[in-house]
């Protein structure tokens, strides 16, 4: 370990529980909000629990600002860790007022009652909820409880902040309000932050970098923009609304897909490191695919294939059609185009895509 | 229901006032209340940690400890009294040393009454509190730990407040059982006016000489029982809302 003070979080850890194995290796510098994205059961919460000390590592090491929190020799107890965790369901103490909830952690650090309450009032004021100080948690709305939970955790002065699906328990309207505000508070927090979510928009808006976990493993660790443009797995592609195909790059930019079919990619669209014979991913935006009722006569796009419409869904001002074929694709059309083409579910269509509209990159791992 | 109705119908209500003004009765009543309260306090001090161990600890032989703790619930109190004599009596397994080393003798003293009542009544508290600790919200305790709370702080500031309704219910049950305790008390502590003759023993004694007086005194304990029931009902109705 070459960590020094203030270097943030370093994790190289394994948690084995029954058949489930979480195996991750990553770093998060201070000042960074790392979004942890993944499907249910991927191991996101297990990771947070391991960092908070509620679950002991099976192997590996966790260091925070150079201090070992957990390795084969040392396990720092959760109450001794400078780690704050905001639980998904907030877990406010129902018998304590909001002020005493927030003062709980300062009190545990043996600060006097008066000093603890002052710290609590200070945090309540910073989060704009000073007027709630005398209330009890059962009298709070979801958005208010979320803010109190954040205040309670921040009052513990953590060096690492963990948020487990902080907005999942809120209704859609409140979510939008709290999201912007939470983003602002997180940017003021000076330590590293891990924000677990399965909502891609939340991850894109709040995180500086994303860590995508699937089945206990990291499948992608990159900026939100990179994840949105070049998803590493079909799960991520689905989240960001892209078509993603896996295959092997062959002669003349022809990619033979794992699930059947071929796609021609332009040499310029392939990222530098991709060579012939390499396994590649091809990302295609749903609006880069054109739909025809007959085989296009003057086929300027090199990729033309036939499929069956299996579903249509109105998304705002466009229609997203699911077309099954080789390969299957999500295609975006205008409602007018759907009407002109007389598209119906079960109907046969031709799809075309320009080679230059495809993004081709190496598959990792 | 029938016996209670009969008691209410046939008891000589008129003599109640006169009986309650008699010194012997008042002494018995006071002794009962004091001993039951002392037994409840001791049960709380010993029973709550015991309940915590039973609910939370991962020890081998926990099932055995639980069986031993709850045995007095099903044991005939007279048998309990005899067992106490064999254990804590002057020549008992432990009592011998209490006498030799500390000069303490428990049988036939007021302290003996309290020991007998505690022995019989504490399981009511332990069983109630253990159940509450089992169903207490572990998520809140976990949250407290991540906020830096030691185990003791977690217990005092999070767990304990969440089981207050059960703690009260358990204490009331324990107190009521101690108040009515007869078999173990008379066996272990005897029936001496002023020191070990509690209300149940007083009723029993009166019954030998003056049955109507015993009937009237029974009313007093019946009222106490009804009062306890009312308190418990109130607790149990409010309990779930509080947690």
Report yes or no: A322 and A311 within 8 Å, Cβ to Cβ.
yes
Is residue B5 in some structural domain? Answer: no
CB contact under 8 A, A83 and B157: no
Q: Maximum Cα–Cα distance for chain B, whole Å?
A: 66
Q: Is residue B146 part of a domain?
A: yes
Residue A53: list chain B partners with CB under 8 A.
146
Q: Are strands A217-222 and A209-214 parallel, antiparallel or unpaired?
A: antiparallel
Chain B nearest-CA residue for A102:
B147
pLDDT tens by residue, A313-364? 998 889 999 999 989 999 999 999 999 999 888 989 999 998 888 888 888 7
In a domain, B3, yes or no: no
Nearest-CA distance B146 → chain A (Å): 5
Residue B138 in domain:
yes
- Report pLDDT for A270: 53
For residue B6, tell me if it sits in a domain: no
Q: Identify whether B8 is part of a domain.
A: no
The answer to whether the CB atoms of B146 and A79 lie below 8 A apart is yes
State the pLDDT confidence band at A184, using cuts at 50, 70 and 90: confident
Q: What is the pLDDT of residues B79-112, one digit of tens each?
A: 999 999 999 988 888 888 888 888 888 888 999 9
Q: With beta carbons less than 8 A apart as the criterion, state whether B84 and B94 touch.
A: no
Q: Pairing mode, if any, of strands A59-64 and A254-257?
A: unpaired
What average pLDDT score do residues A102-112 get? 90
Residue B69, pLDDT score: 87
Return d(Cα B149, Cα A350) in angstroms, integer. Answer: 64
Is position B127 within any domain? yes
Q: Do A104 and B149 touch (CB under 8 A)?
A: yes
Note the pLDDT of residue B240. Answer: 46
Query: Can you list the domains of chain A with their CATH numbers?
Result: 9-229 (3.40.50.300), 243-362 (2.40.50.100)
Give the domain extent around B27: 23-238
| Average pLDDT value for residue range A261-290 | 80
In the predicted model, is pLDDT for residue A5 greater than 60? no
CA distance A176 to chain B (A): 26
Number of domains in chain B: 1
Distance between A97 CA and the closest CA of chain B, angstroms: 13
| Cβ-nearest to A108 among B140, B149, B243 | B149
B16 in a structural domain:
no
Q: Considering only CB atoms, which residues of chain A are within 8 Å of chain B?
A: 52-54, 78-80, 83-85, 87, 89, 91, 93-95, 104-105, 108-109, 152-153, 156
Interchain pair B146, A95: CB under 8 A: no
Cis peptide before A327 (omega within 30 of 0): yes
Mean per-residue pLDDT, A195-200: 88
Instruction: Assess whether pLDDT exceeds 90 at residue A51.
Output: yes
Burial class of residue B9 (count of CB atoms within 10 Å of its CB; 0-12, 13-18, 19+): exposed
pLDDT at B9: 80
Closest alpha carbon to A263 in A335, A358, A363: A358
Mutate to test the interface with A, among B136, B138, B141, B146 (most CBs of A within 10 A): B146
CB pair distance less than 8 Å for B143 and A93: yes
The shortest C-alpha distance from A156 to chain B (Å) reads: 6
What CATH number is given to the structural domain containing B73? 1.10.3720.10
Cross-chain CB nearest to B147 (options A54, A89, A104) = A104
Contact A104/B150, CB-based, under 8 Å? no
Residue among B137, B147, B161 with most chain A CBs within 10 A, to mutate: B147
Looking at CA atoms only, how far is residue A10 from chain B in angstroms?
A: 19
Nearest-Cα residue of chain A relative to residue B160: A95
Element holding A179 (H helix, E strand):
helix A172-188
Give per-residue pLDDT as tens, B210-243.
Answer: 888 888 888 888 888 888 888 877 665 554 444 3
Query: Taking CA atoms, what residue in A is nearest to B164?
Result: A95
pTM of the model: 0.79
User: Given this model, what pLDDT does residue A104 score?
Assistant: 94
How far B240 CA sits from the closest chain A CA (Å)?
Answer: 13
Please give the residue that has the higher pLDDT: either A226 or A299. Answer: A226
Tell whether B141 lies on the interface with A, counting CB pairs under 8 A: no
Long-range pairs, A255-261, Cβ under 8 A, ≥24: A255/A280, A255/A282, A255/A360, A257/A282, A257/A326, A257/A327, A259/A326, A259/A327, A259/A328, A260/A326, A260/A327, A261/A305, A261/A325, A261/A326, A261/A327
CB contact under 8 A, A93 and B145: no
Chain B residue with CA closest to A105: the answer is B147
The chain B residue lying nearest A103, using CA atoms, is B147
């Amino acid at each position: 370990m070459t960590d020094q003070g203030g270097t943030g979080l370093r994790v190289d850890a394994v948690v084995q529980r029954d058949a489930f194995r979480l195996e991750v290796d990553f770093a998060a510098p201070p000042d960074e909000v790392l979004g942890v994205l993944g499907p249910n059961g991927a191991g996101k919460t297990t990771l947070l629990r391991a960092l908070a000390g509620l679950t002991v590592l099976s192997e590996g090491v966790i260091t925070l600002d150079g201090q070992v929190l957990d390795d084969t020799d040392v396990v720092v107890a959760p109450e001794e860790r400078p780690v704050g965790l905001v639980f998904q369901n907030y877990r406010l103490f129902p018998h304590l007022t909001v002020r005493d909830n927030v003062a709980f952690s300062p009190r545990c650090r043996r600060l006097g009652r008066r000093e603890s309450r002052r710290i609590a009032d200070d945090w309540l004021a910073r989060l704009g909820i000073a007027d709630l100080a005398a209330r009890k948690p059962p009298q709070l709305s979801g958005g208010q409880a979320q803010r109190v939970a954040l205040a309670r955790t921040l009052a513990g002065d953590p060096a690492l902040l963990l948020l487990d699906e902080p907005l999942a328990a809120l209704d859609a309207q409140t979510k939008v309000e709290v999201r912007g505000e939470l983003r602002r508070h997180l940017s003021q927090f000076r330590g590293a932050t891990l924000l677990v979510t399965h909502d891609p928009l939340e991850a894109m808006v709040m995180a500086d970098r994303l860590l995508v976990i699937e089945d206990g493993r990291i499948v992608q660790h990159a900026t939100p923009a990179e994840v949105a443009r070049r998803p590493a797995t079909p799960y991520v592609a689905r989240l960001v609304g892209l078509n993603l195909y896996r295959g092997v790059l062959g002669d003349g930019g022809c990619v033979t897909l794992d699930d059947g079919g071929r796609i021609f990619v332009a040499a310029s669209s392939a990222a530098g490191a991709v060579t012939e014979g390499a396994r590649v991913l091809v990302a295609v935006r749903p609006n880069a695919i054109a739909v025809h009722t007959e085989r296009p006569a003057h086929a300027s796009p090199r990729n033309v294939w036939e499929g069956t419409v299996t579903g249509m869904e109105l998304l705002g001002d466009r229609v997203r059609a699911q077309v099954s074929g080789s390969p299957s694709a999500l295609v975006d059309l205008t409602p007018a185009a759907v009407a002109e083409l007389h598209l119906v579910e079960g109907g046969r269509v031709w799809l075309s895509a320009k080679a230059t509209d495809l993004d081709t990159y190496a598959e990792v791992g | 229901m029938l016996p209670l109705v009969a008691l209410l119908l046939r008891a000589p209500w008129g003599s109640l006032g006169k009986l309650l003004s008699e010194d012997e009765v008042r002494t018995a009543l006071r002794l009962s209340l004091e001993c039951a309260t002392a037994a409840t306090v001791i049960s709380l001090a010993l029973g709550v940690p015991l309940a915590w161990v039973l609910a939370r600890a991962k020890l081998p032989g926990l099932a055995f400890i639980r069986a031993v703790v709850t045995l007095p619930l099903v044991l005939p109190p007279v048998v309990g009294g005899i067992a106490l004599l064999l254990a804590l009596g002057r020549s008992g397994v432990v009592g011998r040393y209490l006498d030799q080393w500390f000069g303490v003798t428990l049988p036939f003293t007021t302290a003996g009454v309290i020991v007998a009542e505690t022995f019989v009544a504490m399981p009511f508290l332990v069983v109630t509190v253990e159940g509450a600790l089992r169903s207490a919200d572990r998520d809140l305790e976990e949250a407290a730990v991540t906020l830096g709370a030691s185990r003791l702080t977690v217990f005092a500031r999070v767990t304990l407040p969440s089981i207050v309704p059960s703690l009260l219910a358990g204490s009331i049950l324990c107190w009521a059982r101690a108040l009515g305790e007869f078999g173990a008390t008379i066996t272990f502590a005897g029936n001496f006016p002023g020191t070990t003759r509690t209300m149940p023993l007083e009723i029993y004694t009166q019954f030998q000489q003056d049955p109507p007086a015993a009937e009237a005194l029974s009313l007093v304990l019946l009222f106490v029982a009804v009062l306890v029931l009312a308190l418990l009902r109130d607790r149990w109705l409010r309990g779930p809302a509080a947690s």
